[in-house]
Structure 1
């Protein structure tokens, strides 16, 4: 496992993080690991756009739209 060091963290930011960790009932290390993990696993806007492009249909006509509407109504 890799260890990170963050230098020159302003005192007010470090204090806020320590308070938030304490309020969450966690050590600062556990709190920061969860924070970094959440950020690293959340897809970026570029990744979301790329996924959307994979599923996008380039040509849709009226018949396609009407068929999907009918399919949705039949599923009710």
Structure 2
């Protein structure tokens, strides 16, 4: 595994992270590793939008929808 160093972390930020780690019952290292891992696994907004665009493509147009409505009304 690779080690990562983060420089120039303010004292207040470090203190807040230590508190959050302690509240979750984990060491600072375990807390930050979990945070970084979740961030790496989370798709970006652009990736989610591209997936949404791919999965919601439809060849149905307005005339198809109107025809289906008319057909449903005729069956009543």
Which consecutive unaligned segments of at least 5 residues does structure 2 have?
A: none
Which structure has the greater CA radius of gyration? 2
Can you list the C-alpha shifts for 1:16-58, whole angstroms capped at 9, x where unaligned? 0001101111000000001111111111111001111222325
After superposition, residues 10-29 of structure 1 pair within 5 angstroms as 10-29=10-29
Q: Over aligned residue pairs, what C-alpha RMSD do you find?
A: 2.2
- SS for the counterpart of 1:60 is coil
Following superposition, which runs of at least 4 residues in structure 1 exceed 6 angstroms of deviation?
none
Which consecutive unaligned segments of at least 5 residues does structure 1 have?
A: 71-76
After superposition, residues 48-63 of structure 1 pair within 5 angstroms as 48-62=48-62, 63=64
